Amino acid sequence: MGARIVSLAAAAALLACLLAATQPAAAQQARSRQEGSDAPFVADAGQVADLEASGFLTPQDAKEAAAFDFGDGSDGNATEASDSQADGSDGSNGSATKGGSIASGVNRLKNAGTAISAYEPEPIAASGAVGLACGFGWVDPNFQGAYIGVGSSAFSKGFSCGRCVKIQCDDTFCSEPGKSVVAQVVDLCGDCYDYDIAMAIPAWQNLTGKHVHYWKDPSNNPNVEISWDYVDCAPFINGTIKMLIKPGGNAYFQAFNFANSIVPITAVQLNGDRLRHSTNHFWEWNPGKAINPKGPFQLALLGSNKQVLRVTFKELRSQDLKVQFKAG
């Protein structure tokens, strides 16, 4: 299409700058809805059947989605804990030593494993996660210091990307066993087994109350006993869904990444074509004919809560879609 190919990181940084500079006013949001952005609806059984018949939600989609736990953790054995967001302050009161001993009296959450610290010592920029496995071009400020990588099983072929996780420290190593933080899944941790996780350093230090300097001393990175469960993202995610177009597309192939959704997106349709979900969390469009870059483009997003968002946009570019699924 004659467009210059730029790096994914550069595209995400540009998207973040544009979004930061153009916060929509209420009038602009209303105008966007009039131009084709419909409010979400919750599909009943008949509507789901219609979606399946139209090819939007296929039986294979339903089968794959059923294999993943899209619950909010309410069926676990979680007890009341002091939830705190890892906002970049480490809250530490000592240097790290080796963990690995479960504290007495702690009621563990649904998924038990260990956590190590990883990634950057400071919170990332809004576009700072684009090079990770989920490919997000936007990370909410609440999660720029509170993000994690999960093992391949929990990663669920990328469908866990963007989900919110309550993580509880169950280890005597922690300054306050039973304390919890909320983080967002943005990466696949290749060295994690079962329910082990890799945590951003600010989140890990907030959870444990200890300093780590593993980038200086690899031995100073203890495995800490934790447990975790999925929680509702609605209280933590602000604003609307952001769409990142993968650089390198052409007249016959494009790929899209959707960030900042409060629920997992389970199916995507563009101009009547069902997009294929790849394990790197991009939705691939290969319509079998040349794509007109001038549009218009009619997009539909199906959430795990059976809500459908419809958006019409005029240009094939990374942008804020100005829609969000309904909470609850």
Residue 49 maps to which CATH number? 2.60.40.760
Sign of CA dihedral 43, 49, 54, 57: positive
Q: Residue 276: which domain range?
A: 8-68+238-320
- The predicted model gives 184-194 an average pLDDT of 95
pLDDT, the chain, mean: 77
Domain end among 231, 246, 265:
231
**CA nearest neighbour of 296 among 270, 269, 322:** 270
- For residue 131, being part of any structural domain is answered with yes
Co-location of 113 and 15 in the same domain: no
Co-location of 222 and 88 in the same domain: yes
- For residue 74, being part of any structural domain is answered with no
Co-location of 163 and 209 in the same domain: yes
Which two tokens mark 65? 């989605």
Co-location of 218 and 87 in the same domain: yes
> Is pLDDT at 138 greater than 80 in this prediction?
yes
2/107 Cα distance (integer angstroms): 58
Co-location of 51 and 111 in the same domain: no
**Span 3-14, pLDDT tens digits:** 333 455 555 555
Domain end among 201, 231, 261:
231
Co-location of 37 and 135 in the same domain: no
pLDDT at 90: 35
Domain end among 170, 203, 231:
231
- The predicted model gives 16-31 an average pLDDT of 40
The residue ranking higher by pLDDT, 142 or 86, is 142
**CA nearest neighbour of 145 among 206, 191, 61:** 206
Total structural domains within the chain: 2
Residue 215: CATH number of its domain: 2.40.40.10
Which two tokens mark 304? 């795990």
**Span 203-225, pLDDT tens digits:** 999 999 987 765 556 666 778 99
- For residue 268, being part of any structural domain is answered with yes
- For residue 78, being part of any structural domain is answered with no
160/251 Cα distance (integer angstroms): 30
Co-location of 146 and 29 in the same domain: no
Co-location of 194 and 301 in the same domain: no
Sign of CA dihedral 183, 187, 192, 195: positive
The C-alpha angle 179, 182, 188, rounded to 5 degrees, equals 120
Co-location of 218 and 161 in the same domain: yes
Which two tokens mark 245? 């177009």
What is the share, in percent, of the chain residues with pLDDT greater than 70?
Answer: 67
- For residue 325, being part of any structural domain is answered with no
Q: 3-class DSSP state for residue 307? A: strand
> Is pLDDT at 118 greater than 50 in this prediction?
yes
- For residue 140, being part of any structural domain is answered with yes
pLDDT at 63: 52
Co-location of 139 and 200 in the same domain: yes
Co-location of 272 and 133 in the same domain: no
- For residue 53, being part of any structural domain is answered with yes
> Is pLDDT at 94 greater than 60 in this prediction?
no
Listed range (49-63, 144-158, 274-288, 302-316) with the worst mean pLDDT: 49-63
Instruction: Using pLDDT thresholds of 50, 70 and 90, give the confidence band for residue 76.
Output: very low
- For residue 147, being part of any structural domain is answered with yes
Co-location of 22 and 62 in the same domain: yes
**Span 224-236, pLDDT tens digits:** 999 999 999 999 9
